[in-house]
Structure 1
């Protein structure tokens, strides 16, 4: 797949800067979603996010000359956008009405595991023993996190345990959706410039969420803070983040780009503590460590397989 032609960073390891910046932007998305969804509601907040991202990306697409490509593949890109953006963004906004941004980001770290499961089912990419162990460890971490969340850990004030379980399930549903979209992109959008895929997906997600968002639009106009949060979410954490991700794949390769998964929860927890006064419990940190270990094994970043013989 041809990457977006954006000048690479000058230093030999300049991709590290892109990696950290991408983790910071995607980590901030949970902060912005929580602020925006609190006043807009889940579906309107998700719809505004993708609409702003589409408006931001479309001129870039046209400047790059990828308009004809998008016109040719508009059905596939827009349908993938429903699964890659529309559904998961709405589910995360719903979850963040109940649980903290840090907790949602920790669950989001399971995306590569669901991606591996979907690829196994769709493309028969059977994981080896080390990766299977990682899946078991990762989902054990999620179960540990969900069980304690039902007892009140990682919840907003006045939220109960049942709401927490629904919120965690919504996050897991979003992760499944991301996993499906990765395989769908591989199956139907191979060879299409990533900027065309990104733009078409945001347009498709906007159309998918438009009517539900209008139906559920808040009666009272949201505050300037909520609007600014969604503008930052659409431009920085969606539009610019897409471009950074494509450049990261081009300069560092897919395997290194995947390691951003480990940075997103770190930044999300940091933002939640500093800007929202969220509390991080020891149990959340333990569960996060278990999930990260599972992700590292299930994605092949760490392999417990055969060792090289010496001598």
Structure 2
């Protein structure tokens, strides 16, 4: 299969996996606090990746480890906690929508800091997708006035972190395998995440039934939604452009809304219309 077709397969798979991550975070927060959830997510992903990818670590040149550390910080460590904290006050669907600002941030940071080139249709696609996202956010805020939407700022910060991460990978780690990058990231993060978990009080409540139920959701989130998904994402970055790779965040809300329906979250016709606009934005941002 040609790379131009394979990249769409990767994009679809990632949208399904990451679109499901927000409902897993929601379920995990029932028995865990945000620091515990973020730490466990990283730890489970780290253990999984070290089991399957530890042989790839020697392939990382010494000069690349500083970029591995930077991408682990911006691509995983900070967002894992920011999303968990944000979803204590805003809906998982709103969180997934705000995450769709990542391609816009990727384009802006790529042009300003990394001198990456972009085409006019990518700008149009991002703006159209952004318009759809704004429509969804405004409609969600109108339907849930009781929520503290200032916590949405945390998701915006996370999207900037993701944008930095993507540009760093494309610029400095393009010659490494996705498995090496991902395993290296989580090797760096394991000890910091464990320290946060230790001081979060998790081991004092680990025997509680509700906590154990929530941990099961985070195991899925860590292994599939973080470990496997990052390998696919880094591969997608290498075979396409940073803007196309991050356009997965336009499809994520569509999947998240589907899970919302199953979890008794009401969707309005305006939200469905916004999702359609987002799909148009994805197509335009990827079109050559």
The reply to whether TM is greater than 0.5 is yes
Question: What is the CA RMSD across the aligned residues, in angstroms?
Answer: 3.1
What does residue range 243-258 of structure 1 map to in structure 2 within 5 Å? 243-245=231-233, 253-254=239-240
Q: Which residue of 1 aligns with 2:150?
A: 166
The answer (yes or no) to whether the contact 2:31–2:214 under 8 Å persists in 1 is: yes
Distance 1:151 1:37 in 2: 24
Q: Is 1:108 aligned to residue 96 of structure 2?
A: no
Give how far 1:247 is off: 5.8
Give how far 1:261 is off: 4.2
Normalising by the residue count of structure 1, what TM-score does the alignment of the two structures yield?
0.76
What does residue range 261-272 of structure 1 map to in structure 2 within 5 Å? 261-272=249-260
Distance 1:21 1:142 in 2: 21
Structure 1, 132-141 or 264-273: larger mean CA deviation: 132-141
Aligned pair partner of 2:163 in 176, 179, 183: 179
Could you say which structure has the higher helix fraction?
A: 2
The answer (yes or no) to whether the contact 1:108–1:171 under 8 Å persists in 2 is: yes
Are the structure 2 counterparts of residues 145 and 195 from structure 1 closer, same or farther at C-alpha, using a change threshold of 3 Å? same
SS at match of 2:265: coil
Question: Which structure 1 segments of 5+ residues have no match?
Answer: 1-8, 154-158, 304-311
What does residue range 74-89 of structure 1 map to in structure 2 within 5 Å? 74-89=65-80
Q: What CA deviation, in whole Å up to 9, does each residue of 1:226-255 have, x standing for no partner?
A: 0110100111112222334456678xx426
Question: Which structure 2 segments of 5+ residues have no match?
Answer: none
Give how far 1:16 is off: 6.4
Q: What CA deviation, in whole Å up to 9, does each residue of 1:88-119 have, x standing for no partner?
A: 12111122222332332222233222211110
Q: What CA deviation, in whole Å up to 9, does each residue of 1:136-164 have, x standing for no partner?
A: 434444443443343344xxxxx724x1x
Q: Is 1:201 aligned to residue 201 of structure 2?
A: no
Distance 1:71 1:185 in 2: 15
The answer (yes or no) to whether the contact 2:21–2:225 under 8 Å persists in 1 is: yes
Are the structure 2 counterparts of residues 102 and 211 from structure 1 closer, same or farther at C-alpha, using a change threshold of 3 Å? same
